[in-house]
Structure 1
Amino acid sequence: MKTPTSPIVAPVALLTSAVLLTSAALLTACSSMGGTSQKFDQASVPESVRVPAGHKVAWETTGRGLITYECRDKANAPGMVEWVFVGPQADLWDRAGRKVGTYYGPPATWEAMDGSKVTATQLAVAPAGEGNLPYQLVKANPAMGSGAMQGVTYIQRVALKGGVAPAMACTMAGKGQRQTVGYQADYIFWKS
């Protein structure tokens, strides 16, 4: 004998299936946006730019942007000129590909989208390969504003691509001229 089917059972079953499929799709999408990325490993950078024990990674970002250089008099070398670092302008992206802040200067400032920001003092640098800015370790000053930057103690610049002074010659005739170069670097934020 066939059991009568309620007219509500079929739509509820279809709705439940749709919710389960949507949930599975969202979980898959979320995991592909960064859930599978590896955590930063300090062993991958020179010892001089490693963060002291007792701190943990709070945030991993990638900065992509421009660095400005200016052709200026060379310090302690009258009559000579060189490209001098003026400052960066970059967007910060999290591991899921979302814009989460900016990096600019001078002074070097990392600002989260929530308005919190930090400046820092350079502690160490180490070579990161020809044509790349050096690895860098900075000690963060107390954060301004509350948010993601609050409690940041150190910032490492790693995974560098580009950013060195322009290949174009800096000459006395070109003194005062500015050039920008593209770069990319990971900024790893640490808290105690």
Structure 2
Amino acid sequence: MRSIVFTSVALATVALLSACGGMPMTSARFNQDALPDAVKVPAGHRVAMETVGVGEITYECRAKTTGAGHEWVFVGPQADLNNRMGAKVGSYYGPPATWAANDGSRITGTQVAVAPAMAGSIPLQLVKANPATGMGAMNGIAYIQRVATQGGVAPASVCDGAALGRKQVVKYQADYIYWKAA
């Protein structure tokens, strides 16, 4: 009897955790005090959700818009947005930069500021969100922070006349913190 009760409790716990896997993660623990001021969310906002973006950024070798030569130009991202337990809860893609939840809601936004990250990683970023489309997790989001970035910088390979038009895909990961008005 004892093992039946234990098994029932264990199965109920697994079922509860599985049901929660598709839900957005919220956390009052995220603390932006260590972030550069440029990418801090203004006072009067609270964390509504946190995701980990895991994916790729595409760059293309193009002629410089000013001056002679060529350079790798950011084309766009494609990433899965996972909750802190690793379950996919949405997607990030662009252009325009779009955060889409599995529930059908999505937002775009306008970059407010960037700040340097560790060497070899794309910068930290603060984005002012546009009003969400669709009903769900993205409703009411006012700001998105990109923090804890890993990788994603332009390729180190040569971008010259011979490489003109060539695209390169670079892996990256970043935490996206979503903020609502308090």
Give the TM-score range, shorter chain: 0.7 to 0.9
Q: Are the aligned partners of 2:56 and 2:171 in contact in 1 as well (CA < 8 Å)?
A: yes
Report the Cα distance in structure 2 between the residues aligned to 1:58 and 1:22, rounded to whole angstroms.
33
Aligned partner of 1:10 in structure 2 is none
User: Is 2:139 aligned against 1:150?
Assistant: yes
Aligned partner of 2:124 in structure 1 is 135
Report the CA distance between 1:191 and its aligned residue. 0.7
Aligned partner of 2:81 in structure 1 is 92
Amino acid at match of 1:23: V
User: Is 2:40 aligned against 1:50?
Assistant: yes
Report the CA distance between 1:18 and its aligned residue. 2.7
- Identity rate of aligned residues, in percent? 59
Report the Cα distance in structure 2 between the residues aligned to 1:59 and 1:38, rounded to whole angstroms.
9
Aligned partner of 1:65 in structure 2 is 55
Amino acid at match of 1:185: A
Amino acid at match of 1:115: G
SS in 2 for 1:190: strand
Instruction: Give the helix-richer structure, 1 or 2.
Output: 1
1:88-111 deviations in Å (ceiling 9; x for gaps): 000000012110000000000000
Tell me which of 140, 148, 163 is aligned to 1:159: 148
TM score, norm. by length of structure 2 = 0.88
Tell me which of 179, 187, 191 is aligned to 2:176: 187
Report the Cα distance in structure 2 between the residues aligned to 1:108 and 1:116, rounded to whole angstroms.
14
User: Is 2:90 aligned against 1:101?
Assistant: yes
Provide the aligned length of Structure 1 versus Structure 2: 173
SS in 1 for 2:33: helix
SS in 2 for 1:188: strand
Report the CA distance between 1:142 and its aligned residue. 0.3
Amino acid at match of 1:86: V
Aligned partner of 1:23 in structure 2 is 9
Sort the Cα spacing of 1:25 and 1:43 in 2 relative to 1 into closer, same or farther, 3 A. Answer: farther
Report the CA distance between 1:66 and its aligned residue. 0.4
1:2-59 deviations in Å (ceiling 9; x for gaps): xxxxxxxxxxxx2x763355325754894xx8x9x88211113111101011111011
> Which protein is bigger by CA-based radius of gyration?
1
TM score, norm. by length of structure 1 = 0.83
Q: Are the aligned partners of 2:28 and 2:47 in contact in 1 as well (CA < 8 Å)?
A: no
C-alpha RMSD of matched pairs (Å): 2.1
SS in 2 for 1:149: coil
Q: Which runs of 4+ in 1 moved over 6 A?
A: none
Report the Cα distance in structure 1 between the residues aligned to 2:28 and 2:100, rounded to whole angstroms.
24
